[in-house]
Amino acid sequence: MKRLLQRLRHDQRGATALEYGMIISLIVIAAVPAMEGVADDTVAMWGDVETTMAAP
């Protein structure tokens, strides 16, 4: 039992997975607002296209 606890204490794989998870979550937190801004611009652009195409 003592060897198992020592092995678990020195195992770094879980810490690395946690770090990667935190990095990915920060990227997502930064990307979502950026995508929302682009989406608003894209919707406005297609609205302009629709208005132009509908004009006689």
Measured between alpha carbons, how far is 54 from 56 in angstroms, rounded to an integer? Answer: 6
Instruction: Please state the pTM of the whole predicted model.
Output: 0.52
Measured between alpha carbons, how far is 16 from 35 in angstroms, rounded to an integer? Answer: 28
Q: What is the pLDDT of residue 49?
A: 94
CA–CA distances in Å: residue 40 to residues 33, 37, 46, 53: 11, 5, 10, 20
pLDDT tens-digit map of 11-38: 777 778 888 999 999 999 999 999 998 9
pLDDT band at 48 (very low <50, low <70, confident <90, very high): very high
Q: What is the rounded average pLDDT for all residues in the chain?
A: 87
